[in-house]
Chains A and B, each alone.
Chain A
């Protein structure tokens, strides 16, 4: 035992050694480990708050049941309505779930947890990386429930399993990009309530003025070009093609490019915002 070793000696937590500590490591190499540590914080919480997961699945289940049984007879679509609308509901639900990232970030901010994390010698980018990645896990869990319900109402993968996996993966990549927008919103509004409304409200026009639920060709004239160029339409079209076994053409690549672009821009903005965020 030497007097310079700060962790040696009697383990009395009150005997806090004032000598400089040399064994606390830091640096960019910690990004993976710190992101994982932060992700586990959120993953621990999932089984402890099953009600959150249950509520997150109720809405998509309701959407599947309502759209399929209420609109089926009256909506004109190029293919069978169940096969048409369910990829749209999938895409919408997976995208909506990205907003929970903003709610979680706002919660951490308002409780002072972000202040504490920012005062730690950890890799600072890890807080948001850990958060967005753990939210993907939660999103996958709700998706599995939704998939079971979709099969129950008659939805089938008409293409290969690989194509279906590609469609699903594409939705999650797209949603991951949007979780960075949500993180920026959460850090900007700073309260859970505001993050809840600000995070979701703009997603309604984004997902409804699109090809997710109806064929844009049947929309009012001025809405048609908006719906057709909406990146969410491109995502839905690509996923619908892959789930139904026809060629998505360039849509999958365009959707992927949108996701990549949004991730690059908003991850940077959110990280920069994080570096200046303190609780009120």
Chain B
């Protein structure tokens, strides 16, 4: 280890991962335009952003897969750019695709990765068996992965990145492409790892995922960090739950705002050429009938009153003034945005 890296490591001993002013372009696209963040030891950091925001590039820089144009990156105080192999011995990567060899069995996959971490074969086998047990894959351990479901593959994939007890686990969109049930299973797993004190960097496009799993959240957009904080702080900034009222006549907007002001816990927004009003509320429960009563009392005609929970789009709207889906950099948008919970319609 170089002396400068050691010095830095001792200065920032609380951070297991440091990304320091990273820049990286792919042609015209600026994937990273000065990204900095830290993952504190024993915590889960959620790197939240839409497709093309630079999340994956950041993970790839930290795992030595991509060399940044400028900036520095450290794992456990080891300079990732200067000593990539040493840094790699400290990390476990679960990429966007379940990187399992489907021609091998579950146990063989684990053992193989363990051997490439240069663990003794007996240790690799032993830990492989433990992880299969822990990840609920014992019955499938001697089956060829080709027959595994998507959720099983993902669990095996995460197990593989834990085989050498890495000090930092990197999970790049671990639930993208999973069905809802497998998604919950993977969430439970990550939650358990987090409680066990595994330092984790998790990228996600889903606000609810970051909300549930992350201790701290870094929001990225267009290769820049646009917000940092705990999920609670972030949700407060966004306004959290809300009700939305749509109506035909833009002239009614002011009357709608007036009628519903008492219900709001924050600033009431008027959108869509004054045909939509958003009322932030602390708790959705009972708010829709109440709003309908108030609108009726004021004799304002309306089309819809719906209750909604905040989504990534809202975070982006609140932080940047544009939605996540109109982000521009969605050329690689292979996964559609979070399916929103069906709005509960009460009146039309």
Query: Hey, which bits of chain A sit against chain B, CB under 8 A?
Result: 6-7, 11-21, 24-27, 30, 34, 37-38, 40-41, 44-45, 48-49, 110-113, 115-122, 278-280
Contacts and interface: CB of A to CB of B under 8 A. Distances in A.
B118 A26 contact: yes
Contacts of A111: 97-100, 102
Contacts of A30: 118
Contacts of B100: 111, 113
A25 B89 CA distance: 8
A245 to B, nearest CB: 42
A120 B101 contact: no
Given A18-B197, A20-B76, A48-B144, A116 B118 contact: no
A34 B85 contact: no
Nearest to B16: A18
Interface in B90-134: 90-91, 93, 95-104, 108, 112-113, 115-119, 123, 126-127, 130-131, 134
Interface residues of B, number: 56
A279 B96 contact: yes
A37 B93 contact: no
A130 to B, nearest CB: 10
B60 interface: yes
Contacts of A116: 93, 95, 99, 113, 160-161
Nearest to B123: A7
Contacts of B49: none
A9 to B, nearest CB: 11
A113 B42 CA distance: 27
Contacts of A16: 162, 165-167, 169, 193, 196-198
Interface of B: 16, 41-42, 60, 63-66, 76, 85-86, 88-91, 93, 95-104, 108, 112-113, 115-119, 123, 126-127, 130-131, 134, 144, 160-162, 164-167, 169, 192-193, 196-199, 332
A13 B167 contact: no
A257 B346 CA distance: 80
Q: Select the residue from A6, A24, A30, A111 with max chain B CB neighbours within 10 A.
A: A24
Contacts of B86: 26, 121
A279 B63 CA distance: 14
B113 A112 contact: no
Q: Select the residue from B66, B89, B104 with max chain A CB neighbours within 10 A.
A: B89
Contact of A17 (B60, B115, B167, B169): B167
Nearest to A115: B95
Contacts of B99: 111-113, 115-116
B118 A122 contact: yes
